[in-house]
């Protein structure tokens, strides 16, 4: 019903949209309300932040591998924080902190979700634009503003925030405890508050658009899995981000207005502070109530993108569409009741630990279903190994490798000895960092033609993938051993413990792989920038895909479709579908676009 | 030297990339340049997929062969073996799943690489299959959850009445540890950071009026534990979050300002015995070889190392987080009693300060 109403509205819109074409440079490229332009803005901002985040990780990896060594590059980039080229412990922690913040929030939340939700939701559900173009624009500009503030915080006199990306108080609340907890942390909190507002505006828009603006015939069960993933991600974001905002606000009050929400009984630098009665554990609860769903906010869009790409490039329907949707929903639901597994040894009641172990290990079930379904989709396919497909297969691989160690960490008893060690770092980098990055790259390679009207160079794409894939395992697989040997994370150097001396060579191996991986991203950067201007012109439907974004013209137009919005008659996964006589539904073509009505003597599937 | 090596490695990588681009470009001569994978790309990348599977396996084997000996070794607490066996079972399980699923994934990617004219199988659903791979994880995980929960409950069950435990307070501050023993009455005196009086050497803020606190003993350098005796740790922090991590005992608990957290274990192997442990002895020998090499190069921090248990801080706590440690000495009850006798009680310390 609502879909029809929206349709009527959109048609009315289509009639008059030919009249207002007077776009200036500012309304077209800067304060644009067009979802396609906004998605490009998100992508490019996200990629620039990504360059920063990755560069930081290379710097601190060098410090870990060659502790206390003097490097010219430290002196150049870090200035006073690297006297004579030796990295200062304060800036080491700051780099770790800001690397985490940038990668989790700025690259993999808004860079990934913002880009592809904006690009694909209207295009794949058949809408002229987002429900509110204006809100969409505000959302991007708030994201931009928060990025700018985060980057500015790097230049604060006493150093940027350095209490870890989880900013646990009291460390993050007391400038006496570390320099970064002064102005740097203030800017971090301000930036994050704006970021959360941006994310909420975006998410509300996505949800409303998916619910209301689907074209005729696009029932929920005909949605491509990408849209399901973006839709559910947006819902998790709406549920959990406000809690982080409240945590940030309370922390701001503790820091600036003398309240004691998170602080109590503190004696520091020779004096007793007035705080009384607060609890840092409360902050941990509030933080991880967002923090854990955040993992899935990062991961689900990547899984959605992968589902679409694997089906398209296998020339097969995604196996178990309904199970895939169900597992997205199950993961989303469970993700909001597992936050306590970050806090098994925080001092909370051990009984709670038992409950959170139970819910946490349950997540392995829908995750396993997803992994098996991906593998089955490949089975007996006709795999077109485009770069996007390689990254998608890579995602399934790292998702399994990283996900499995979650069974160890999610078990409260086993967590005791690996908590906060490199084992955790290895786990979450594989399962959410690398996997989500692969998903992002897959999406960029796949939809680049839709975004920029040109193709990315595939050979550079292949090289990019293979180097990245080898290095990703080269960095994070050995890291598990370091963690099992008991090395805590966020140590500036491990040389103060002779028991860790035999790990030095592993650290060097990991760092060398990381440096090579970092360099490999330059190939991508070059490919990306070069192809925007000089890439080969893209055909309308380069990957022979069923989804309706490929029925729009290559040149972007306001309103997406020149004429009426196409009507949808089937689900998105009729690849290689044959009639009873063994012939493709459309003779000579192994895909059936969603816009094609049911053919004669074609068997209808229950979708 | 390192810098030079790094530059050489980077240069070589850059050259390799350049050459690979050329190979890829050359292999494209004569084909249309659509930037969409053709049969040749599918073939090359299909084979590479298979190669990558072998790479993962080799990496796994190499890692175990090369670094299998860096792990923590024999657990030194009563619950340690229990912990380790749960860990081993979980590890065996995840390695099994890892090996099988990665094999399927990359083998399919190789086997079904695309070819023009090949027909993919339209295969959208199979309830039976999906049921199977939902129910198997359910059963396996149910087992693991139950096993894990039993272990967790027995680990976290801290009963002060049972087994004649010693009560020890671990006190964390930026950036060192202190330990407070409850003394002859085995009850810790009340304490609060507001009572800290540096001039009177009351660094832990023990209540001077509390009779239970008079016989408390504060150790600022080493944590001594009697072997075979249940120990209940009460953790406190005076400034920021810290985490008391004792990896050899499979023990860890955060120290939270404003709150007392606790953890309990029974050490089973004395420091002396642990030094004789074959695994540890080998590790020490290996590390001392590394340190000897460093010494030969004239580096500092290269003296021969003797094994000791250690208490580390494992929650980011500030710039010197990486060096917040305390030596743990596990010894026989007699040795422990003798050490204890040498220590000053709180009453004595205060009196001396006055």
| pLDDT for residue A578 | 87
> Which of A44-48, A116-120, B5-9 has the lowest average pLDDT?
B5-9
* Cα of A2 to nearest chain B Cα, Å: 29
Task: Name every residue whose Cβ is closer than 8 Å to that of residue A362 and which is 6 or more positions away in sequence.
Answer: A334, B141
Could B194 and A379 be called an inter-chain contact, meaning their C-beta atoms sit closer than 8 Å? no
Nearest-angstrom CA–CA distance, B82 and A428: 26
Q: Domain ranges for chain A, please list them.
A: 2-11+27-264+273-551
CATH number for region B166-353: 2.60.40.420
Query: pTM here?
Result: 0.93
CA B227 → CA B168, B274, B325, distances in Å? Answer: 14, 12, 21
Backbone angles phi, psi at B167, to 5 degrees: -100, 125
**Mean pLDDT confidence for B22-46:** 79
Peptide bond into B175 cis (omega under 30): yes
Torsion angle of the four alpha carbons A229, A232, A235, A236, in this order, in degrees rounded to the nearest 10 = -80
Could B105 and A397 be called an inter-chain contact, meaning their C-beta atoms sit closer than 8 Å? yes
Using one digit for the tens of pLDDT, what is the confidence trace for B165-180?
A: 999 999 999 999 999 9
Percentage of chain A beyond pLDDT 90 is 86
Residue of chain A whose Cα is closest to the Cα of B44:
A385
**Mean pLDDT confidence for A102-115:** 94
| pLDDT for residue A15 | 45
| pLDDT for residue A310 | 96
Nearest Cα neighbor of B182 from B174, B173, B191 is B191
**Mean pLDDT confidence for A424-443:** 96
Contact list in B for residue A357 (CB cut-off 8 A) is: 145, 148-149, 152
DSSP string, B157-169: ---SSTT-PEEEE
| pLDDT for residue B17 | 73
**Mean pLDDT confidence for A281-297:** 94
Using one digit for the tens of pLDDT, what is the confidence trace for B120-164?
A: 999 888 889 989 989 999 999 999 989 999 999 988 888 888 888
Could A371 and B101 be called an inter-chain contact, meaning their C-beta atoms sit closer than 8 Å? yes
Contact list in B for residue A470 (CB cut-off 8 A) is: 52, 55
Using one digit for the tens of pLDDT, what is the confidence trace for B48-87?
A: 999 999 999 999 999 999 888 888 889 999 999 999 999 9
| pLDDT for residue A606 | 60
> What band does A164 get if pLDDT is binned at 50, 70 and 90?
very high
Percentage of chain B beyond pLDDT 70 is 96
Using one digit for the tens of pLDDT, what is the confidence trace for A53-62?
A: 999 999 999 9
Q: Would you tell me the crossing angle of helices A133-152 and A35-65 to the nearest 10 degrees?
A: 20
Contact list in B for residue A385 (CB cut-off 8 A) is: 37, 41-42, 45-46, 49, 109, 113-114
Nearest-angstrom CA–CA distance, B119 and A521: 35
Task: Give the CATH architecture of domain A2-11+27-264+273-551.
Answer: Up-down Bundle (1.20)
**Mean pLDDT confidence for A315-326:** 94
For residue B4, pLDDT over 80 is answered with no
Using one digit for the tens of pLDDT, what is the confidence trace for B298-344?
A: 888 888 999 999 999 999 999 999 999 999 999 999 999 999 999 99
Residue of B100, B112, B122, B178 for testing the chain A interface, max A β-carbons within 10 Å: B122
Nearest-angstrom CA–CA distance, A407 and A473: 19
Are A381 and B118 spatial neighbours (Cβ–Cβ below 8 Å)? no
| pLDDT for residue B31 | 56
| pLDDT for residue A21 | 57
Q: Would you tell me the crossing angle of helices A387-409 and A364-378 to the nearest 10 degrees?
A: 150
DSSP A495: T
Residue of B2, B241, B285, B287 for testing the chain A interface, max A β-carbons within 10 Å: B241
Residue of chain A whose Cα is closest to the Cα of B4:
A71
Nearest-angstrom CA–CA distance, A551 and A566: 8
| pLDDT for residue A12 | 42
Using one digit for the tens of pLDDT, what is the confidence trace for A381-398?
A: 999 999 999 999 999 999
* Cα of B321 to nearest chain A Cα, Å: 7
Q: What burial class does residue A110 get, using C-beta atoms within 10 Å of its C-beta: 0-12 exposed, 13-18 middle, 19+ buried?
A: buried
The β-bridge partners of B234 are: B169, B262
Using one digit for the tens of pLDDT, what is the confidence trace for A17-38?
A: 444 556 787 877 888 889 999 9
Using one digit for the tens of pLDDT, what is the confidence trace for B235-248?
A: 999 999 999 999 99
Residue of chain B whose Cα is closest to the Cα of A446:
B36
DSSP A128: S
Are B282 and B69 spatial neighbours (Cβ–Cβ below 8 Å)? yes
Interface of B with A in 86-115 (CB under 8 A): 86-87, 90-91, 93-94, 97-98, 101-102, 104-106, 108-109, 112-115
Nearest Cα neighbor of B37 from A312, A468, A591 is A312
For residue A10, pLDDT over 50 is answered with no
Residue of A382, A463, A480 for testing the chain B interface, max B β-carbons within 10 Å: A382
| pLDDT for residue A17 | 47
Residue of B124, B265, B313 for testing the chain A interface, max A β-carbons within 10 Å: B124
| pLDDT for residue B34 | 82
| pLDDT for residue B71 | 87
């Amino acid at each position: 019903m609502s879909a029809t109403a929206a349709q009527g509205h959109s048609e009315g819109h289509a009639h008059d949209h030919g009249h207002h074409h007077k776009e200036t440079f500012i309304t077209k490229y800067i304060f644009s309300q067009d979802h396609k332009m906004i998605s490009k803005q998100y992508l490019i901002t996200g990629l620039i932040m990504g360059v920063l985040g990755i560069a930081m990780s290379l710097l601190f990896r060098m410090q870990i591998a060659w502790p206390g060594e003097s490097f010219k590059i430290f002196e150049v980039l870090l200035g006073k924080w690297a006297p004579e080229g030796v990295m200062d412990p304060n800036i080491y922690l700051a780099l770790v902190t800001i690397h985490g913040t940038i990668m989790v929030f700025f690259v993999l939340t808004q860079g990934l979700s913002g880009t592809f939700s904006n690009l694909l939701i209207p295009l794949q559900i058949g809408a002229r634009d987002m429900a509110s173009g204006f809100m969409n624009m505000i959302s991007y500009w708030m994201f931009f503003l928060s990025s700018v503030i985060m980057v500015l915080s790097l230049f604060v006199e006493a150093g940027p925030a350095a209490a870890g990306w989880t900013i646990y108080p009291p460390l993050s609340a007391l400038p006496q405890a570390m320099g970064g907890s002064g102005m740097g942390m203030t800017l971090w909190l301000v930036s994050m508050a704006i970021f959360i507002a941006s994310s909420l505006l975006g998410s509300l828009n996505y949800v409303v658009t998916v619910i209301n603006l689907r074209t005729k015939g696009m029932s929920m069960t005909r949605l491509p899995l990408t849209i399901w993933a973006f839709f559910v991600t947006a819902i998790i974001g709406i549920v959990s981000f406000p809690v982080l905002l409240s945590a940030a606000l309370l922390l701001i009050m503790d820091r600036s207005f003398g309240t004691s929400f998170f602080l109590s009984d503190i004696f520091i630098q020779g004096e007793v502070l007035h705080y009384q009665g607060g609890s840092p554990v409360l902050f941990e609860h509030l933080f991880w109530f967002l923090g854990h769903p955040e993992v899935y906010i990062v991961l689900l869009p990547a899984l959605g993108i992968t589902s679409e790409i694997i089906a398209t490039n296998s020339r097969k329907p995604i196996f178990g569409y309904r199970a895939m949707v169900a597992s997205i929903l199950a993961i989303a639901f469970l993700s909001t009741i597992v936050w306590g597994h970050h806090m098994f040894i925080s001092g909370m009641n051990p009984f709670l630990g038992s409950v959170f172990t139970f819910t946490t290990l349950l997540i392995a079930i829908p995750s396993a279903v997803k992994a098996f379904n991906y593998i089955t989709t490949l089975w007996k396919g006709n795999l077109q190994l485009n770069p996007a497909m390689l990254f998608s297969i890579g995602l399934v691989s790292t998702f399994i490798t990283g996900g499995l160690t979650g069974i160890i960490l999610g078990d409260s008893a086993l967590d005791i000895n690996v908590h906060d060690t490199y084992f955790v770092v290895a786990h979450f980098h594989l399962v959410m960092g690398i996997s989500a990055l692969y998903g992002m790259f897959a999406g960029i390679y796949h939809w680049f033609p839709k975004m920029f009207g040109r193709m990315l160079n595939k050979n550079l794409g292949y090289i990019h993938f293979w180097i990245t894939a080898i290095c990703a395992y080269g960095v994070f697989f050995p890291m598990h051993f370091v963690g099992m040997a008991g090395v805590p994370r966020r140590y500036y150097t491990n040389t103060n413990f002779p028991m860790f001396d035999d790990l030095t060579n592993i650290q060097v191996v990991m760092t060398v792989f990381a440096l090579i991986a970092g360099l490999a991203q330059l190939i991508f950067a070059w490919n990306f920038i070069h192809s925007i201007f000089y890439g080969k012109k893209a055909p309308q439907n380069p990957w022979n895909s069923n989804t309706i974004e490929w029925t729009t013209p290559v040149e972007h137009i306001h309103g997406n479709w020149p004429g009426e919005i196409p009507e949808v008659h089937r689900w998105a996964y009729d690849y290689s579908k044959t009639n009873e006589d063994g012939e493709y539904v459309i003779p000579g073509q192994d895909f059936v676009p969603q816009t094609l009505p049911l053919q004669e003597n074609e068997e209808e599937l229950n979708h | 030297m390192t810098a030079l090596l790094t530059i050489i490695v980077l240069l070589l990588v850059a050259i390799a990339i350049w050459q690979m681009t050329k190979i890829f470009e050359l292999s494209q001569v004569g084909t249309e340049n659509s930037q969409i994978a053709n049969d040749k790309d599918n073939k090359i990348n299909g084979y590479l997929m298979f190669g990558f599977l072998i790479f993962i396996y080799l990496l796994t084997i190499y890692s175990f062969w090369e670094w299998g000996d860096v792990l923590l070794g024999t657990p030194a607490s009563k619950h340690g073996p229990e912990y380790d066996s749960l860990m081993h079972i979980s590890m065996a399980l995840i390695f099994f799943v890892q090996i099988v699923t990665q094999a399927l994934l990359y083998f399919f990617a190789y086997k079904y690489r695309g070819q023009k004219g090949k027909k993919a199988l339209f295969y959208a659903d199979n309830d039976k299959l999906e049921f199977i791979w939902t129910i198997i994880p359910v059963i396996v995980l149910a087992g693991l959850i139950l096993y894990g929960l039993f272990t967790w409950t027995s680990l976290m069950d801290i009963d002060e009445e049972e087994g004649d435990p010693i009560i020890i307070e671990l006190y964390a501050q930026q950036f060192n540890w202190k330990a407070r023993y409850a003394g002859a009455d085995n009850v810790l005196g009340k304490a609060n950071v507001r009572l800290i009086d540096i001039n009177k050497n009351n660094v832990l803020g023990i209540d001077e009026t509390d009779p239970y606190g008079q016989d408390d003993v504060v150790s600022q350098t080493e944590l001594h534990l009697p072997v075979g005796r249940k120990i209940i740790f009460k953790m406190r922090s005076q400034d920021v979050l810290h985490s008391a991590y004792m990896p050899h005992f499979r023990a860890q608990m955060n120290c939270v300002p404003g709150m007392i957290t606790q953890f309990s274990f029974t050490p089973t192997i004395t420091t002396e015995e642990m030094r004789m442990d074959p695994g540890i002895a080998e590790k020490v020998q290996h590390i001392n070889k590394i340190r000897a090499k460093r010494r030969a190069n004239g580096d500092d921090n290269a003296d021969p190392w003797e094994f000791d248990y250690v208490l580390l801080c494992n929650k980011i706590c500030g710039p010197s987080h990486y060096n917040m440690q305390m030596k743990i000495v596990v010894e026989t009850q007699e040795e422990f009693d003798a050490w204890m006798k040498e220590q000053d009680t709180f009453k004595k310390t205060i009196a001396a300060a006055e």
